[in-house]
Amino acid sequence: MKSQRFLSMRRGAAASVALAAILATTACGGQSLSSNSSSAGGSAAPFTAEAAPTEDLAASVVDGIKPDAALTSGLPDAVKTNGIKMTTSEGYPPMEMFAKDGKTLIGVDPALGRAIANKLGVKITINNEDFNAQIPGITTGRYDIIMSSMTDNEERRKTVTFVDYVKAGNGWVVKKGNPSGLGAADTVCGKTVAVVDNGSSLDLAEGFSKDCEAAGKKAVNILKFPGDQEAILQVRNGRADAGINDYPVAAYRAQTSEGALEAVAIAGDEASWGIAMKQDNKALQDSVQKALQSLVDDGTYAKILEAWNVKEMAVDKVTINDGK
């Protein structure tokens, strides 16, 4: 249920969110695999990482990643030779979106994808694809990995295997400083929330309100609007205590609010998002899991999420098929 609701909301949110100006960071040069470890056991071609796009807020972090030749040696031969073919689906900022040129993919998922490729010491190509065509793209071999804010769930695990890389649920969009003290779901009892009429955020608000009343607390005062922009405006002008979005969208709203807004995760509502791969490609699954865990352990992963203002999505341990 969670994944279906989320997917529906995800695409709606994508349509309503306009790209805001992205702070440019200075990209560093790439690095050669041969200049790092001497323990290489694979047959990868000499590797020099391509600089991350300058509009990637984590570009300087991604470009500073050194390849690990031991990890490279564990990759499938085809990936050593051709690099990683990644697919994502633009239109869901800050997770995945186009840069100003309208064709370069940036965002949390492209940044993490490039980071994993740099750690593995191979190139990566990132393609935009319709969300519903991505899993067929894995099974037919058009792509090696999907990084597209995809929930790891039982139904999808019948077809692909996930390396779970972040967790995400819903979030409050509140005024900077969270003056109404929104946090867990029950903190909204007696408060006013602004949501999109007939959207999944309305369903969520109505569910919270029922829970409040069942617990003997005041109901939620729900304000309904045609679009998310109108709903968020009510938070800015103080008419509502909070808006509700998927957490990454809430974080993006805050990041592009010039300091007026803040995103607060709604505790207890998280689900694992996974990097999807072909089920029988155990070598690639193992390599990606190890590369990402290495980035978690050395703090690089946290810096990337922080650059994109989604540090609350972080996991400590990179697992396989750990979704619910």
Residue 227, Cα to own-chain centre: how many angstroms?
23
Q: Which of 108, 80, 151, 141 is nearest to 277 (CA)?
A: 141
Alpha helices in 107-227 (DSSP H): 108-120, 134-139, 200-214
Give 9-37 as a DSSP string: HHHHHHHHPPPPPPPP-PPPP--BGGGS-
What's residue 45's pLDDT? 60
Q: Which of 220, 223, 231, 235 is nearest to 187 (CA)?
A: 220
Residue ranges per domain, the chain? Answer: 58-168+272-320, 170-265
Q: Do domains 58-168+272-320 and 170-265 have the same CATH topology?
A: yes
Asked if residue 53 has a cis previous peptide bond (ω within 30° of 0), the answer is: no
Kindly report the CATH class assigned to 58-168+272-320: alpha beta
What's residue 43's pLDDT? 53
pLDDT digit string (tens) for the chain, length 324 residues? 333 333 433 433 333 333 333 333 333 334 444 434 333 444 556 788 889 999 999 999 999 999 999 999 999 999 999 999 999 999 888 999 999 999 999 999 999 999 999 999 999 999 999 988 999 999 999 999 999 999 899 999 999 999 999 998 899 999 999 999 999 999 999 999 999 887 778 989 999 999 999 999 999 999 999 888 899 999 999 999 999 998 998 999 998 999 999 999 898 778 899 999 999 999 999 999 999 999 999 999 999 999 998 998 999 999 999 987
- Quickly name the fold that domain 170-265 has: D-Maltodextrin-Binding Protein; domain 2 (3.40.190)
Task: Give bridge partners of residue 161 from the DSSP assignment.
Answer: 277
What's residue 40's pLDDT? 40
What's residue 52's pLDDT? 97
What's residue 60's pLDDT? 97
What's residue 44's pLDDT? 55
How many angstroms separate the CA atoms of 280 and 125, rounded?
Answer: 22
